[in-house]
């Protein structure tokens, strides 16, 4: 597998370092993908899932067990697209109490 296709969950600082490295190697553009781990308020999971499924850039939404209630997979043209989707469209959804965004490369 080439370096540009290797996928791992990294903190944003590591992601940015990886992007700079890829650009230096001649990879001029790459899509951004993120996993958003979401905690919801009691009884609000179904409403949050329905709202997430309507958003452009949200590829999949799954209800899960464990410390989080939902995992959403996002795709965008850039890191900025992902950030704007999370902060501008996902955070304001009623019923979300906490999110953790994990960027994949």
pLDDT at 31: 83
Domains of the chain: 3-104 (3.30.70.920)
pTM (predicted TM-score): 0.72
Give the Cα separation of 77 and 19 in Å (integer).
13
Letter string b/e over residues 19-33, b meaning 16 or more CB atoms within 10 A of that residue's CB: beebeeeeeeebebb
Q: What is the pLDDT of residues 11-34, one digit of tens each?
A: 556 666 766 676 676 655 568 999
């Amino acid at each position: 597998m080439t370096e540009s296709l290797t996928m791992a969950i990294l903190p944003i600082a590591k992601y940015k370092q990886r992007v700079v490295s890829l650009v230096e190697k001649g990879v001029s553009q790459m899509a951004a993908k993120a996993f958003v781990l979401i905690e919801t308020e009691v009884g609000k999971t179904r409403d949050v899932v329905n709202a997430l499924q309507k958003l452009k850039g949200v590829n999949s939404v799954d209800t899960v067990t464990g410390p989080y209630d939902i995992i959403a997979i996002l795709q965008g043209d850039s890191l900025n697209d992902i950030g704007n989707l999370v902060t501008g469209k996902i955070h304001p959804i009623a019923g979300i109490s906490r999110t953790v965004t994990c960027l994949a490369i």
